[in-house]
Amino acid sequence: MRNTRDRIRHAIGFEVIGLLAFAPLASLVFGYELHQMGLIGAVASLIAAGWNYLYNLLFDKAMLRFTGQLRKSVLVRVLHAILFELGLLIVFLPSVAWYLDISLVDALIMDIAVAGFYMVYALVYNWLYDIVFPVPSLKAKPEGGTALG
């Protein structure tokens, strides 16, 4: 299981790289000013950073409980990304509509596009993160117990 320091490094890296990619791309695609997309991205990033830490901690605990290990198949990685983005969509939809003074339908269309970007980004980022910073293996204790207790 990842320790707190590793989870913080993961969350900060995800948000910084994501924001640097999101703001200019969203400004170009949606036609809003860079500062508007940057502010939306920055506020969303702060909220998402907290959600990222909590969600990944809970997801890993659930994986350990239900499967006994932390290796993620492609299908589990896709499910992981979809569930993460659905949680954020519920929070962001009303605030984006209000800030940009657009309808909830327009905000939903925008959020779906942004969620699509971030789902692909999350899948790639998390996969590469696991390669660069592998999860420590769960080894048996010398007295015959497992590392899980």
> Tens of pLDDT along 56-93?
999 999 999 999 989 999 999 999 988 988 888 888 88
d(CA 104, CA 76): 31
Confidence of residue 116 (pLDDT cuts 50, 70, 90): confident
Is the pLDDT at 143 greater than 80? The verdict is: no
Model pLDDT, residue 149: 42
- Residue predicted with more confidence, 101 or 115: 101
CB half-sphere exposure, 120, CA atoms < 13 A: 7
Banded model confidence at residue 139, pLDDT cuts 50, 70, 90:
low
pLDDT at 148: 46
Taking the model in full, what pTM does it have? 0.64
pLDDT, greater one: 30 or 2:
30
Where are the domains positioned within the chain? 4-132
pLDDT band at 125; cut points 50, 70, 90: very high
pLDDT at position 31: 94
Give the three-class secondary structure for 3.
coil
Mean pLDDT of the chain: 87
Neighbours of 23 (CB within 10 A): 20
Nearest to 2 by CA among 48, 74, 60, 72: 60
Q: What is the CA radius of gyration of the chain?
A: 18
- pLDDT band (50, 70, 90) for residue 40: very high
pLDDT of residue 138: 59
